[in-house]
Amino acid sequence: MNGSTGVETPAKSKIRIVVADDHPIFRDGLCRLLALEEDFEVVAQAEDGRQVLDVLQQFEPDILLLDLKMPGLDGLATLQRLQQSKNKTRVIVLTASDDKNEFVQAMKLGTSGIVLKQTATELLIKSIRKVHAGEIWLDSHTTAAVIRQFVANEEAPAMPQMAPAAAPRERERSPLSQREREIVALVAQGFKNKEMAEKMFISEQTVKNHLHNIFDKLGVSDRLELALYAIHNNLHTGR
């Protein structure tokens, strides 16, 4: 692989990862799988939330793969601590739980992605690269589940926890076009950019351009906030 000149090509910067899970066999197996990717480097492991906090302070990784069910300080409590410390590590919750309330709480606490443990390995690997690039990772099923949970919570008489999602209404600068409303509805239903492009017979770049304009008009910062805004303002049906 080396050239005949003997000059080495500078190595690309690797994505530095910490794996936090209280099951040693799962944790070790996952680390071995991740180590097979040339652009990944597992810098540490942790078996509970307190170890996570110590390890993140020591290694300052790019990505934390975090199980929600851990002894002592669990995943959600760990996320709260990280949010308070303003740690810059991006977190992907890797969980066997199907508790949608936990997903909602994790997203509110700054999680960048949620991946179920039964997910195919290649999708986990893809999620790490996407989140490292600054994107939010929720598969369509998880997104739909989170949105349904928020919709269910709307039945409650007082929803102080939902206030941030409703706040963009006051910041709306101009009305959405019909095409933008269609895109908002699809986002709220859990569709990804490529899927929306195929469904609407437009390019993926056009979808991205529309989303940029929508974010600007509504004052939202990401897809989840946009989806929540859509639910609160009855835009999720596309009508």
pLDDT tens string 65-111: 999 999 888 999 999 999 888 788 999 999 988 787 888 788 878 88
Q: 15-19, 116-120, 230-234: which has the highest mean pLDDT?
A: 15-19
pLDDT band of residue 29 (cuts 50, 70, 90) is: very high
Q: How far is residue 140's CA from residue 27's CA, in Å, rounded to a whole number? A: 26
User: Residue 154 pLDDT more than 50?
Assistant: no
Domains and their CATH numbers in the chain: 15-138 (3.40.50.2300), 158-232 (1.10.10.10)
Which tokens hold the place of 85? 């410390």
pLDDT at 149: 64
Q: What angle do CA 53, 45, 26 make, to 5 degrees?
A: 125
Choice between 156 and 53, residue whose per-residue pLDDT is larger: 53
The lowest-confidence range among 19-33, 158-172, 222-236 is 158-172
Whole-prediction pTM? 0.65
User: Residue 129 pLDDT more than 90?
Assistant: yes
User: Residue 156 pLDDT more than 60?
Assistant: no
* Average predicted confidence (pLDDT) for the chain: 81
pLDDT band of residue 155 (cuts 50, 70, 90) is: very low
Is-contact 136 222, C-beta < 8 A?
Answer: yes
Reading phi first (left if > 0) and then psi (alpha if -120 to 50, else beta), residue 6 is in left
User: Residue 118 pLDDT more than 70?
Assistant: yes
Burial profile 71-104: b = 16 or more Cβ within 10 angstroms, e = fewer: eebbbbebbebbeeeebebbbbbbbebeebebbb
Q: How far is residue 39's CA from residue 51's CA, in Å, rounded to a whole number? A: 25
Q: How far is residue 225's CA from residue 165's CA, in Å, rounded to a whole number? A: 6
Is-contact 35 63, C-beta < 8 A?
Answer: no
